[in-house]
Amino acid sequence: MSADLDLDRAFAGNPVPTWLRDFERRPYEALDGLLLGAARLGILSAAEPTDLLARWMDQLGDPFIGFLDTALATWIGRSWRTPILPGAAGSAALTAAAWIRAADTIASEVRLREAATELRHRLPSDRNFLAALGEGPSRDPEGRAWFAIARHQADRVLTPWWWRFCTLPPDEPWYHGVYGVQGLRGLPPPANEGAGFRIEVAEGLLRLADALAQRCDDGWLDQSAARAEVARIAQLMQRAFPFPERWAHVWVECRERGVQGDLARSWLDAVLPSVNVGPSSRRRPLPAVPQRRPDWQMRAQVIAGSLREHFEQTLPRATQLLDEQTEYAEKTGDSYNVVRTACSFASKIRHSHPTQALIWVELAQRFDPWNAYTWTTMATVLLALHRGEDAMSAAREAFVRFPDEPVASTTLADVLLKTGQFVEAEAQYRDTVSRFPANVVAHCGLGDALLKQEMAAEAEAQYRDTMAHFPANVVARNGLADALLKQGRAAEAEAQYRESLNQWPDDPIIWGGIGHTLIAQRRWGAAVEWLTTAARRFPADPFIRTELGVAQKGSDAGLENVARPGRQASPSATEAVEDPAAQPAATPAVELGLQPEDEESPQVPAANAQVPDLRTSDIDILVNDSFLVRRWLRAMASEADREVPGRLRQRARDLLERLAGARDHHADAAQAWALLSLEEGLRADGLTLLRQAVRRFPGSVRVRYALARVEREMAVLERKRLDKDTERTVVAPWKQLAVLEPRLAPVAWLGEGRAWLSLLDGAVAEGGARRAFAQLGRWVHEHRPADEQSATPGNDTAPHRREGVYAWYADEVQRTLFGGSPIRGRDDLADLQPLRDRMEPAIAAQLDGLEEQLVMREARV
Amino acid sequence: MGPFSTLNAAFASFLFRRGAAPQDELRFVARNFLLDEGIVLDRARSYEAAGAAANHADDASWQTFHRAYLLDAVNKPRPPGPGSMLDPEDSDHCAETFRHFDEASPFLMTDLGLDLIRTITLDFVRTMTGETLPSLRALSDRVARANCEGASGGPDHDALDAILEEWLMRVDGRPVFAGFWEDVKDLFGPDPDSDPAAWADELRDRCGLAHHDPGVLGPVPILVFRYPVRDVLRVRGTDRTARLLVAPTVLDSTHSPAFCPAPGSSVAGHTVELACHYELPRREVVHPPVDFRARHVLRVGEIKRPVPADLGAARGLHLVYLQERSTRPDYASTTDRDLL
């Protein structure tokens, strides 16, 4: 393709720039050269390529802009997902610069529509590609691409994205918040609003201020940086929408609502007009700022109460309510109501109307992908739709995003169990039990997983242990009965059920269980009699009805063999606790179209090595899966009386092969492959790959973390001594991690302390370890939940109560690394021996897991 | 001659060959690489390690490797958040330019109150901030006029501050090329209305900014900053009253045909006077980043006159000056015999 620009006429006899001649002949190649800095520019060599394009667009106008638009669109299409462009001299930085130039050019000219469309088509679903090239706000191709898209919006489809940026979810760098506000600014006005002031832009600013204040409050962001960010964006937006009276109106109303925190309010007070008076406001009332409606909560409760029983009649009211809440969320970014309502409704009908439930839970997740409830509900809804693979994806994602939420952990285990992955389910339950020992669902689930593997004796022990700790839990008791039955101890099972019946006389599971044990004992008459009574009490219970049929048939024919699984072949402990009434009769996974129950199941990825064009979602699955498989291997390895099942090992090897095809193109895949290779004993290969990957994906926190970890592990294995070189390769990467992502400071301190101790030789290493662990100890002391702190002897300075993922993390670190002693400074670490003792392999593996959990959550790439 | 004339035979051969080719202005860049005596050996080796010091097949290859080197070693990403100091030990964020410097350099003692001058295009700011050219130009002009009247704040200043902050957030930590106010102050009147008509063209010529060429770009709108040395970011390890101003080298920026390195004994560089006036060349330094603000805005203008056609003549005159000033009559005699 060539471009007819009629340059001689445009330049009226003056010399035509060489690059324009090149562009006229071969637009794509010329543009590629310009973006990468290889173009023939003569004396213009020192100019910024973006400046040159801006000048020429101004000077030459439409013909040039049209050809440039097409060339840019082609360039984006061809270059996407190429970590280092072929003409970039092997430099990720140059590749990043080329993307920034392309994005800034698109942002600067509204007529570059084709290129903008191409970028928009790719970015939202594959943003990690550009994120892996980023190195902070001054080299941020992803951010610049969002900015370009923000400037070219012809519809409001991206609205939830912009609100998400404004609220700074955990995996978003703080300097991306501005793109949320810019995105809202670039939205076409809603149909009923004209041009002029935009309330949603003002609301976006307010939300961002709060989100930045939260980062400051958590200790991850310097207050002066946050204040400057808010002030700058407020200035820019007031310049874009010069309506001081309207700004004042929004700000005054917001203050009256009292939703803004003190810190954010102090910043905004300094930059927003706050006096809502003026001649025009007295003449004409200003439009109201959108508000939550006070009746929403009540309506949601009423609708939820009747959805399951009267779905058709209730659906219009449910839709109406969600429409109102959606509209409010789109205008204000306040998605609390719509997310809560949509999840609640979806949860109510997930078994009876799973298709509608899915629509609602997707709505909730569109607004708030950082709400654990949306993910766990999504997983259960997908299970109900017999979409086992998708349910697994949602459950995995929930686990990675919410390591502090036991329900995310048990939901994953439950999905594994229901999709026939019993070994994995067992490992996941074991992991959950060790992290959340008070979680009864995990204890029961572990028994269930053992039972499914025909390990009835082990299951029995597990249920008995659970009953000892949770005597009031019916699921454990029923599980025990089932385990006894599986061992041919039907009479004992019956006795167990009958004991439970005293406590839970209205539990249909117990009623059905007793009938089942009677059948197993071939006590046909008793079974028929018992089940007939049970069927009268629970006429809708399919299991009881089925068992009654079996008993009657047995009674008639004197059947010998009735050894069939009981009701809770794969009981959902989670659901039993969550919503016992919603529990349908268990349907075998095979019937659900989920996972075949044999060990060599096709759900385990096939061992085909090369997957040349994996979708991003496929990569996400592989990466999360590899994270989990490593956790499961550790969980099983920690059981002294349990061999690591070959199935898990095979799964790890399969993943290694699948990831190998993607590791050069995806930062996540490189990190996952390297850490798996570590697990498989291929340390040198992992190290080599990561050293390359860190250059290829300079913005990937995950890759940097993996490299730091492998270097440390190699130092331990090779008994490396402390010198300048090992300090640079083993210790320094941990410090860099905190620079790249401040929220990973606890991981960086933990990793650095361990790195120092991994090196042989004396005082210097010990001093370094003491420094790093003291910082970590102080952080832990400040962030542990107050009730945990109060249990710490000698605690008299417990700060205000903390909660959430950092409180959980601090508590885990205290428990795993420091034990019972609070660490408030270096003086508490005079003797490092207790910490050295914690470096032994079993605890080190737990510490590895802790490091990685936060990295996986906080670092998107 | 500089270290690249001997460090790597293949690259030296490429440079001599490219420097002798008569085709275009890039030959001056090749000559500069041979000439530049200000490059410390560590930097030359770093350039070599980046693959840039090689026997390149063509200009495009050299340019690409040079750009890659710049981005990897010089134009470092700025750390997120506020930074009051540049740490030479921080290889992730400190440009090589400021990691290897002569602690005895007299420029470290430059008066903090001395004013520097820097010219950028308005396009550079507007493409990164989403501002329109007319509104940015108008705002900057109002601020420049207010600054002349001694104003230091107000809504326009606040607005331009926000725009400049937004711009600087997106610009990497590249070394800043600057001149001295003393060397160009005669181009400006007490306020914009009193300026000589073609001050922007003249400023471009004096500062050797050949890439601002209206002949091929159309009129180039520019923004001129005037700021005290005090506002330059401090470098850790230097005295509180010191700022790092160093002579620029070929490794501090993209290939620039209008650049000419100073002899090794110089503490500052000198710009090539594009209009071939045989005047005292103006001093040029590079320094760590500055947080440019509205109060620094001196003028907004437009370069309209094309760059004089004969860059070779300008370079020739410049080299004659350097030979005289440095008492090095043989300076550049190997590389630029055709011009001397």
Q: Which of A178-187, A640-649, A801-810 is predicted most confidently? A: A178-187
Q: How far is B70 from chain A (nearest CA, A)?
A: 9
Instruction: Calculate the average pLDDT of chain A.
Output: 88
pLDDT tens digits for range B26-46: 899 999 999 999 999 999 999
Nearest-5° Cα angle at A735, A732 to A739: 135
Interface of A with B in 177-196 (CB under 8 A): 178, 182
Confidence of residue B78 (pLDDT cuts 50, 70, 90): confident
Identify any residues that bridge with B222 across adjacent strands, giving them in sequence order: B121, B301
Query: In the sheet where B297-303 sits, what is the strand order?
Result: B269-270, B283-287, B176-180, B115-121, B220-228, B297-303
Confidence of residue A167 (pLDDT cuts 50, 70, 90): very high
**Shortest CA distance to A632 belongs to which of A422, A451, A794, A796?**
A422
Contact B333, B340 (CB under 8 A): yes
Residue A535 CA: distances (Å) to CA of A261, A519, A563: 57, 15, 21
pLDDT tens digits for range A268-298: 999 998 765 444 444 456 667 788 899 999 9
Contact A849, A695 (CB under 8 A): no
Tokens 């959430």 sit on residue: A804
**Shortest CA distance to A754 belongs to which of A627, A821, A845, A857?**
A845
Global pTM reads: 0.89
| B29 has a chain A CB within 8 A of its CB | yes
pLDDT value for A282: 46
Confidence of residue B268 (pLDDT cuts 50, 70, 90): confident
Confidence of residue A764 (pLDDT cuts 50, 70, 90): confident
Contact B260, B27 (CB under 8 A): no
Q: What would the mean pLDDT of A371-385 be, rounded to a whole number? A: 95
- Three-class secondary structure of residue A696 per DSSP: helix
Interchain pair B60, A51: CB under 8 A: no
Interface of B with A in 60-79 (CB under 8 A): 60-61, 63-68, 71-72, 77-79
pLDDT tens digits for range A311-349: 999 999 999 999 999 999 998 899 999 999 999 999 999
ipTM value, please give it: 0.95
Contact A414, A615 (CB under 8 A): no
pLDDT value at A746 more than 70: yes
Contact B205, B308 (CB under 8 A): yes
Residue A364 CA: distances (Å) to CA of A162, A399, A407: 16, 18, 18
Best residue of B28, B64, B161 to probe chain A, by most A CBs closer than 10 Å:
B64
Confidence of residue A698 (pLDDT cuts 50, 70, 90): very high
AA letter at A618:
D
Q: How far is A177 from chain B (nearest CA, A)?
A: 13
Interchain pair B311, A43: CB under 8 A: yes
Query: Chain A residue with minimal CA distance to B23?
Result: A42
User: For residues A780 and A309, what is the distance between their CA atoms, to the nearest angstrom?
Assistant: 49
- Percent of chain B past pLDDT 70, that is, above it, reads 99
| B21 has a chain A CB within 8 A of its CB | no
Contact A89, B65 (CB under 8 A): yes
Task: Please name the residues in contact with A326: beta carbons below 8 A apart, sequence gap of 6 or more.
Answer: A338, A363
Q: Write phi, then psi, for B232 (nearest 5 degrees).
A: -75, 140
Task: Please name the residues in contact with B186: beta carbons below 8 A apart, sequence gap of 6 or more.
Answer: none
Interchain pair B81, A222: CB under 8 A: yes
Helices (DSSP H) in A308-439: which residue ranges?
A: 311-332, 336-348, 354-367, 372-384, 388-401, 406-418, 422-435
User: For residues A95 and A696, what is the distance between their CA atoms, to the nearest angstrom?
Assistant: 10
Tokens for B85, please give them.
């100091």
pLDDT tens digits for range A794-829: 444 444 446 789 999 999 999 999 998 889 989 999
Contact B201, B303 (CB under 8 A): yes
pLDDT value for B21: 86
Tokens for B261, please give them.
């390195």
Task: Please name the residues in contact with B290: beta carbons below 8 A apart, sequence gap of 6 or more.
Answer: B118, B176, B225, B227, B231, B232, B233, B296
Q: Which of the residue ranges A269-278, A320-329, A553-562, A581-590 would you say has the lowest mean pLDDT?
A: A581-590
pLDDT value for A14: 82
Contact B39, A96 (CB under 8 A): no
| B274 has a chain A CB within 8 A of its CB | no
User: For residues A598 and B78, what is the distance between their CA atoms, to the nearest angstrom?
Assistant: 55
